[in-house]
Amino acid sequence: MCGIVGYIGAKPVKKILIDGLRELEYRGYDSAGIAVLQQGGFSLFKAVGKLINLEEKAKEFESNGFSVGIGHTRWATHGKPTELNAHPHLGQNSYVVHNGIIENYQELKAMLTAQGAQFLSQTDTEVIVHLFEHHLKTAASAFEAFRQTLARLEGAYAVLLVNGSVPDTIFFAKHGSPMIIGRNTDNDVLFGSSDAALIGKCNEVIYLEDGHYGYASSDEVALFDAQDREVVLRYVPLSDNKLSAQKEGYRFFMEKEIYEQSTVLADTLMGRLRDRSIYFEEIDPSLFEGINEIKLCACGTSYHAALVASYLFERHAHIRTSVEIASEFRYRDPFLTSDTLFVVISQSGETADTLESLKMAKKSGLKTMVICNVDNSSMVRLADASILTRAGIEKGVASTKAFATQVSVLWMLSLYLGETRKTLPATEIERQIQLLRTLPSTVAVDPATHEQLRRLSKRYLHGHGFFFIGRDVFYPLALEGALKLKEISYLHAEGYPSGEMKHGPIALADPELFTIALLPQHKLYDKTKSNIEELSARDSTICSISPLDFDKADDHIRTRAQDDYMLEFFEMMVVLQLLSMEIAIRLGNDVDMPRNLAKSVTVE
Ligand code: M6R
């Protein structure tokens, strides 16, 4: 994913920018660039691939006193990863770097092109710098031109812009994409899209809020809100401890990653949702030609995402879909036919069982695809096609945001297939795209619910076991909820289809058996309710999760009313993640590094 850094000061600017970008490398990128304004002139360096290529391009550049610089790592969304598409983007006398997406860029580009602007790249970002220069012709000041530019942008962005007529200044804005301003005792001003880029270089920072914009020089930082009112600058200390600073005030990485799901889902959807269709830049539609079956293969949490996909693919795309646990697939002499697309799902892209399964499928002549969070991982390099999930680095061993992004990609893929196979009406695709757009707000943690879960957790620290139950896609979600709980609390937990309990497991029901029941309003509500009532009648302790009241439960977590079961799925996912985490914290466990587990399982 994209990263931004900025610097105003007299220190070696190239090193500061590239070091800052290096701290953001973990987010993944495919090109990078820096622009430096020094002694009245700009120097620009861009390179495709890793930062070492950028360093090589810029190796002759020497800083000389005071300078202003901006830098960027780009993860291609509009246009291929080329030098021309890499940021910073140039106007006549200005440069811009941008994270996010400018949704109305085509309309702005048409207007600016008609007025003579020369576009060099295929990116949405380039409109910002041309729009700025367009307003600069008539505005009272460069800052006024910047303000007018922002007023015309639709979408999500974090922006830094420099202009040759104000060589000591960086204009900045944040709207839906993170941006931080930092300062130090040497009077340097720095910018970063994450504080990882600023640790060790700043002692104080301001985390900008949506709608904030302004300008900075070494003498002054002026900050305005969305209503154009000047905002009082409130710096907060930035820890120089990388680990604790990276947790950004959260107790554990897992907690931070749960809270981050809103942002990473926005990143994952970015550029992929059109008004009436789904667009995967990385997928050539010919991949699906001649395919009559999809076989999904994965381990652990990624396997649960695959199970969710099996419901969505068959429902939306009417394509036979099977799901394999990778460690079983490898040794069961599977019968494979060449009309099957073999799709592996993996956060790391390195899990040994999944990787070997992918190799087996390739060897058998199947077309292959990976849904993965790590670019250039072994699976991404091996598969015929890949879709990246853009969750950013996941440090907690218990996977959270990676799962959320996997399911969102698989949901989009089911719609993409529904469209190409003509199995979903256009109106339904459009409706679901609107639902997808709301995912970032759907998974935003409600502080009251988090507090309720924290309090509730003390009642679930003992007992002889947990059953997580649900139907349809809520069954794999129940499996995932149970996996989360056992991984970090070390309590015994199982996921079960609600309707299956009466075929055996209900024999365990007593007050010491805790049932976590997923009761969505929009998917099989009555059926699931009856199953929970059967358990309640046998005195199992029930914790129900539903937007509707349920009087047979001992505890009830009320979720928000949603328009569709998939939104209920994502909201309940967050509830289950927080519940497991709060139980594990009460038990005094190391939530981020649970005993016996590794983040990436590269052994069989
Ligand atoms: O990197 P992968 O997605 O291939 O990893 C698969 C599993 O090892 C992983 O999901 C594991 O189950 C997690 N610890 C779950 O929280």
Query: What is the per-residue pLDDT across 68-82, written as a single tens digit (0 to 9) for each?
Result: 999 999 877 777 788
| Residue 396 Cβ < 6 Å to ligand 1 | no
- Does pLDDT of 28 surpass 80? no
pLDDT at residue number 23: 84
At 423, give phi and psi (nearest 5°). Answer: -105, -10
Residue that is last in its domain, among 443, 474, 497? 443
In tens, the pLDDT along 347-372 reads 999 898 999 999 999 999 999 999 99
Q: Is the CB of 399 under 6 A from ligand 1?
A: yes
Ligand 1 binding pocket includes 398 (Cβ within 6 Å): yes
Q: Which of 384, 414, 443 is the last residue of a domain?
A: 443
From the CA of 351, give the closest atom in ligand 1.
4
pLDDT tens digits, 179-193:
999 999 999 999 998
Q: Is the CB of 495 under 6 A from ligand 1?
A: no
Are β-strands 555-558 and 236-237 bridged in parallel, bridged antiparallel, or unpaired? unpaired
Local structure of residue 28 (DSSP, 8 states): -
Highest average pLDDT, of 173-182, 236-245, 319-328, comes from 319-328
Q: What pLDDT was estimated at residue 155?
A: 84
Residue 440 Cβ < 6 Å to ligand 1: no
250 with 392, same domain: the answer is: yes
Number of domains in the chain: 3
- Give the closest residue (by CA) to ligand 1 atom 7: 300
Same domain, 10 and 63: yes
Residues 6+ apart with CB under 8 A from 76: 30, 31, 85, 281
Q: Sheet holding 89-90: strands in order across?
A: 89-90, 94-102, 155-163, 170-175, 213-216, 221-224
* Residues sharing a CB contact under 8 Å with residue 265, sequence separation 6 or more, in sequence order: 404, 405, 408, 439, 440, 443
347 Cβ inside 6 Å of ligand 1: yes
Instruction: Mark whether 492 and 384 lie in a shared domain.
Output: no
The Å distance, Cα 87 to ligand 1 centre, comes to 34
The DSSP code for 561 is P
Out of 329, 409, 595, 601, give the residue to mutate to test ligand 1, the one with the largest number of ligand atoms within 8 Å of its CB: 601
Ligand 1 center from residue 585 Cα (angstroms): 21
Q: Which domain holds residue 341?
A: 245-443
Both tokens assigned to 499: 């309707």
Question: At 1, is the pLDDT very low, low, confident or very high (cuts 50, 70, 90)?
Answer: low
Ligand 1 pocket test: pick from 296, 302, 378 the residue with the most ligand atoms within 8 Å of its Cβ: 302
Residues taking part in catalysis: 2, 599
Q: What is the pLDDT of residues 426-440, one digit of tens each?
A: 999 999 999 999 999
pLDDT value of residue 594: 87
Report which residue type is found at 379.
M
Structural contact between residues 101 and 155, judged by C-beta atoms closer than 8 angstroms: yes
| pLDDT score recorded for residue 343 | 98
Q: Does one domain contain both 400 and 475?
A: no
pLDDT at 463: 78
Distances (CA, A) of 60 to 19, 32, 47, 52: 17, 17, 15, 14
Confidence band of 11 (pLDDT split at 50, 70, 90) = very high
Tell whether 349 and 477 lie within a shared domain: no
Residue (of 215, 149, 162) closest to 35 by Cα position? 162
61 is written with which tokens? 């550049």
The pLDDT score that the predictor gives to residue 178 is 81
- Report the nearest-CA residue for atom 9 of ligand 1: 300
Whether residue 397 has its Cβ less than 6 Å from ligand 1: yes
Of residues 9 and 601, the one with the higher pLDDT is: 9
DSSP characters over 238-261: --S-HHHHHTTT-SSHHHHHHHTH
Cα 398 to Cα 249: distance, rounded to the nearest angstrom: 19
191 and 259 together in one domain: no
Q: Report the separation in Å between the CA atom of 299 and the middle of ligand 1, taken as the mean of its atom positions.
A: 6
**Looking at residues 322-348, what average pLDDT do you find?**
96
Pair (110, 200) in one structural domain: yes
Structure tokens at 55: 């360093």
**pLDDT band per the 50, 70, 90 thresholds, residue 229:** very high
pLDDT tens sequence across 557-586: 999 999 999 999 999 999 999 999 999 999
414 lines ligand 1 (CB under 6 A): no
**Residue (of 137, 187, 192, 131) closest to 165 by Cα position:** 137
Burial of 63 (0-12, 13-18, 19+ CB in 10 A): middle
Could you tell me if 157 and 123 are in contact, meaning their C-beta atoms sit under 8 angstroms apart?
no
Ligand 1: residue of 297, 347, 371 to mutate (most ligand atoms within 8 A of CB) is 347
Q: Which of 317, 272, 575 is nearest to 449 (CA)?
A: 575
Minimum-distance ligand 1 atom for the alpha carbon of 599: 14
Whether 327 has a pLDDT exceeding 80, the answer reads yes
Closest ligand 1 atom to the C-alpha of 299?
Answer: 6
Q: Which two tokens stand for residue 280?
A: 């995967």
199 C-alpha to ligand 1 centroid (Å)? 30
Asked if 202 contacts 238 with a C-beta cutoff of 8 angstroms, the reply is: yes
Distance from residue 601's CA to the centre of ligand 1 (Å)? 8
* Cα 365 to ligand 1 centre (Å): 27
pLDDT at 244 over 70: no
Q: For position 531, which CATH number holds?
A: 3.40.50.10490
Ligand 1 contact, 301 CB (< 6 A) = yes
How far apart are alpha carbons 412 and 424 in whole angstroms? Answer: 13
Q: Say if residue 474 is in the same domain as residue 376.
A: no
CB 541 less than 6 A from any atom of ligand 1: no
Tell me what the mean pLDDT of segment 416-424 comes to: 97
Instruction: List b or e across 351-386, with b for residues whose CB sees 16 or more CB atoms inside 10 angstroms.
Output: bbbbbbbbebbeeeebbbbbbbbbeebbbbebbebb
State whether 420 and 455 are in the same domain: no
pLDDT above 90 for 243: no
pLDDT given for residue 377 in this prediction? 82
Question: For ligand 1, is residue 246 a contact (CB within 6 Å)?
Answer: no
CB 378 less than 6 A from any atom of ligand 1 = no
Average pLDDT, the chain: 93
| Tokens encoding 317 | 């795309």
- 97 - beta bridge partners? 160
Express each pLDDT in 522-533 by its tens digit: 999 999 999 999
Ligand 1 centroid – CA 328 distance (Å): 15
Task: Please indicate, yes or no, whether residues 359 and 452 belong to a single structural domain of this protein.
Answer: no
Q: What is the CATH number of the domain that holds 213?
A: 3.60.20.10
The token duo for 306 is 């695959």
Distance (Å, rounded) from C-alpha 582 to C-alpha 103?
A: 39
* Angle formed by the axes of helices 565-586 and 426-437, nearest 10°: 30
Same domain (yes/no): 67, 153: yes
Of 185, 217, 240, the last residue of a domain is: 240
Mutation test residue for ligand 1: of 252, 254, 257, 301, the one with most atoms within 8 Å of CB: 301
pLDDT-derived band at 604, boundaries 50, 70, 90: low
pLDDT band of residue 26 (cuts 50, 70, 90) is low
Task: Check whether residue 251 and residue 234 sit in a common domain.
Answer: no
